[in-house]
Structure 1
Amino acid sequence: MQATSFTYDSETRSGSVLLDDGTPLSFDAAAFDAGGLRLLRPGQRVRIEVEGDGDGRRIALVTLQTL
């Protein structure tokens, strides 16, 4: 699934993305680390993998979207 980086805190390696429908979804350091990223800037297109449904939905992996 694709999204746009919205916030990122380099100290905690956590942040949030906006799904294409505008829904915000947070990610933690484990999801950031799973993608092998070193830095993330707001506005970058990312690819995410999501686990769970409804209120239990969480990002398991976030990485840069490449063509």
Structure 2
Amino acid sequence: MQGTIATYDPRTRSGTLLLDDGTEIGYPAEAFAASGLRLLRLGQRVRIDCDESGQVTRVTLPTFR
């Protein structure tokens, strides 16, 4: 899935994402840390991976082809 960063707290390294379908979901610091990214910007496009329960497990930058 892809979306944009809606909120980001640099202290906790967590926030919320606005998915392309309009759904807003939270992401934990662990999902951010798994990507190896150091900083996210509001409005930045990202790709997310989720587990079977729908929890965000990884936030990465999208790849363009």
Structure 1 stretches of 4+ with a deviation exceeding 4 A read: none
Q: 1:61 aligns with which of 55, 58, 62?
A: 58
Find out whether 1:29 has 2:29 as its counterpart.
yes
TM norm structure 1: 0.87
CA RMSD between the two structures: 1.0
Under a length normalisation based on structure 2, what TM-score does the superposition of the two structures give?
Answer: 0.90
Percent identity of paired positions between Structure 1 and Structure 2: 56
Alpha-carbon distance in 2 for matches of 1:9, 1:44: 14
1:4 Cα offset (Å):
1.0
Residue identity opposite 2:10 in structure 1: S
1:1-67 mapped onto 2 (5 Å cutoff): 1-53=1-53, 57-67=54-64
